[in-house]
Structure 1
Amino acid sequence: MRHADAVNPTDRDGVFEVVQQSVFQLWEVVNNLTRIQPPKQERYCVTIFGSARMTPETPLYEGVRHLASELTAMGCDIVTGGGPGLMQAANEGSVKADPEDRTKLIGIRVSLNFEQETNPFVEQVYLHRTFFSRLHHFVLLSNAFVVVPGGIGTALEALTVWQLLQVPKLYDTPLILVGSMWSDFAAWARHYMVDVEPPMADPADMSIPHCVADCEAAIARLRDAHAQWL
C-alpha cells in the first residue's frame, strides 16, 4: 500500500527532508529521556579532562596521578576519556589508591582514527561514535569536572561544561581549571568578551570556572565540594 505522503527515493529534496525530520525527532526523544533524573549516586563522580599526549616522566603526569589518588581515597569514582596521557595518569593514580577496588574507573571513548587504545587501568568503557553524544555522557555522569592542561579536545570539553553552567543547564557542579594555561585563557576570555564595548558576555560568566594553580589546590576545592555533597 502506498502512503499519500510517500517520498520517491529519486526525489533528493524529499529524501533529505525525511532524514532531517527523523533526526530532529530522534533528538526530541533523547531530550525527553534526559528529563528523568537519576537517583543520587552512591559515590561522588569526578571527571578529569586533559591531554592525551603527556608522558609519564613529566611533573604534570605525576600531579594528575596524585590528584586522582586523593579523590579515590575520598571515595570518589573517576571518569576520563579512557585514553593515554593525562587520562591514563588519572586512572593509574586511582588504581594505586584503591587496592580493594571499591570505586569505579570509567572511560568514555570516541571513535577516531588515532589515539584509539584504551589505557589498561580503565574498568568500564563506553565507546561513542560522535563527540556530541560523548560529551552528553560526561555531563550525565559527573558531579564535578577538573580540567588539566590539554589541546583542542580538552578545550572543547572545558568550554562545553562552562557553557552548560552559564545557560544554566547544569547546576551546583564545580568546574575547576588547573594551571596557568587555563587561568591565562580565562583572562583572555574576560579581556575579549567582557572588557569590550558592547560586552559579549556577562562578568558573572567569568566566575563560573574556578581557576587554581595546581592539583593540590584542586584537591582542596574538591574535598569541600565532596563534603557538601555527602
Structure 2
Amino acid sequence: MMKEQFENEDDRIQDKFKQKTWNEIRTNDSWAIFKIMSEFVNGYETMGRIGPCVSIFGSARTKPEDKYYLLAEKIAYKISKAGYGVITGGGPGIMEAGNKGAHFGGGTSVGLNIELPFEQHFNPYIDRDKNLQFDYFFVRKVMFVKYSQGFVVMPGGFGTLDELFEAITLIQTKKIGKFPIILVGRDFWSGLLEWIKTVIIEKHANANPADLDLFRVVDNEDEVLEALDNFYKKYNLSPNF
C-alpha cells in the first residue's frame, strides 16, 4: 500500500472531504486492511514468543539528565532483576530509560516503535530480536495491552495519557484483567487525579468512586516493585521471566 503524502495540514484536511474514485478507494483504503493485518500478525507472532512484560509509558521528550528519566531507568533495572520483562514504545526519553534499565538489569527489553514525523527513533537498548515497528497507533496499543503484566506510567504528554486511559478504560469495562496500573510521581499526577475526583466523579458522576482504586500512585522504584509483587502474590503468580 502506498502511503498518502500531503504537503501541508490543509491538504490532509481537504482530502477527508474529497469524493474519492473507486480506484482510489481500492488503492488507498481497501488495501490498507492488509497492511493492518500484517502488523497484527507480526506483532502477535513476535510478542507471543516473548511473552507478557511490564509496560512502561512516558514522554519521548524527557532528557537523560531529568529526574524522571533516571527514575524510570532505576525502576526498569529493579523490576528486571526481579524477573519482569519490560516493554516500552521503543523511542527516546522515558522509553529509552525503560529499555536501558532492563538491558543493564539483564532482563527482557522490548520496543514497540511507531513511525512519526518527529521525536521517534529506536533507542539502542532494545534486544535485537525484540524490536517491532508499527505504522498504526491502534495496532501498537493492542500489543501493549495484550502482552502487559502491569503498567508503569511515568510523566508524559498526550500520548502517555492516551495509553494510560486506554488501560484504565479496558480494565474498568472488564475487557482485560485488573492488572496493576502504577502512576509514578505524585507531584506530576496530583492535579489530574484531583480533577478526576472532584469534577468527573463528585460533580458530574461520570465515573464511580471505586474507579480510583484501579490505579496506585507511587514515588520510587521500591514502591513500584512492591505493587507488582503484591499483585502476583495475591494470585499466586510469578513474573514471566
What is the Cα deviation at residue 184 of structure 1? 2.6
**Structure 2: how far apart are the matches of 1:177 and 1:190?**
16
- The 3 A distance-change label for structure 1 pair 69 and 195 is same
**Structure 1: how far apart are the matches of 2:230 and 2:52?**
12
Q: Secondary structure at the match of 2:203?
A: coil
Contact preservation (8 Å) 1:43, 1:76: no
Partner of 2:61: 53
Richer in helix (by share):
2
Deviations 1:23-74 (A, max 9, x none): 9x99xx99xx9xx9xxx99866100001111112222222111111111111
Alignment of 1:70-81 (within 5 A): 70-81=78-89
Corresponding residue pairs, total: 206
What is the Cα deviation at residue 226 of structure 1? 3.7
Deviations 1:59-97 (A, max 9, x none): 222211111111111111110001111111111111112
Partner of 2:7: none
Alignment match of 1:134 (pick from 116, 140, 153): 140
Give RMSD over aligned pairs.
3.0
* 1:202 is aligned to 2:208: yes
**Structure 2: how far apart are the matches of 1:84 and 1:17?**
36
**Structure 2: how far apart are the matches of 1:58 and 1:116?**
18
Higher Rg of the two aligned structures? 1
* 1:182 is aligned to 2:189: yes
* 1:214 is aligned to 2:220: yes
- The 3 A distance-change label for structure 1 pair 43 and 73 is farther
Partner of 2:117: 113
- The 3 A distance-change label for structure 1 pair 113 and 59 is same
Which residue type is aligned with residue 92 of structure 1? K
Alignment of 1:152-191 (within 5 A): 152-180=158-186, 181-191=188-198
- The 3 A distance-change label for structure 1 pair 43 and 69 is farther
Normalized against structure 1, the TM-score is what?
Answer: 0.78
* Aligned-residue identity in percent: 31
Q: Which runs of 5+ in 1 are unaligned?
A: 1-10
Q: Which runs of 5+ in 2 are unaligned?
A: 1-18
**Structure 2: how far apart are the matches of 1:118 and 1:177?**
24
**Structure 2: how far apart are the matches of 1:117 and 1:186?**
31
Which residue type is aligned with residue 120 of structure 1? P
Contact preservation (8 Å) 2:57, 2:163: yes
Q: Secondary structure at the match of 2:63?
A: coil
Contact preservation (8 Å) 1:165, 1:171: yes
Contact preservation (8 Å) 1:47, 1:78: yes
- The 3 A distance-change label for structure 1 pair 41 and 167 is farther
Which residue type is aligned with residue 195 of structure 1? E
Partner of 1:143: 149
**Which has the larger displacement, 128-137 or 218-227?**
218-227
Which residue type is aligned with residue 72 of structure 1? S
Q: Secondary structure at the match of 2:166?
A: helix
Contact preservation (8 Å) 1:44, 1:75: no
Normalized against structure 2, the TM-score is what?
Answer: 0.74
**Structure 1: how far apart are the matches of 2:83 and 2:154?**
21
Contact preservation (8 Å) 2:178, 2:214: no
Partner of 2:104: 96
Which residue type is aligned with residue 169 of structure 1? K
Partner of 2:9: none
**Structure 2: how far apart are the matches of 1:96 and 1:88?**
12
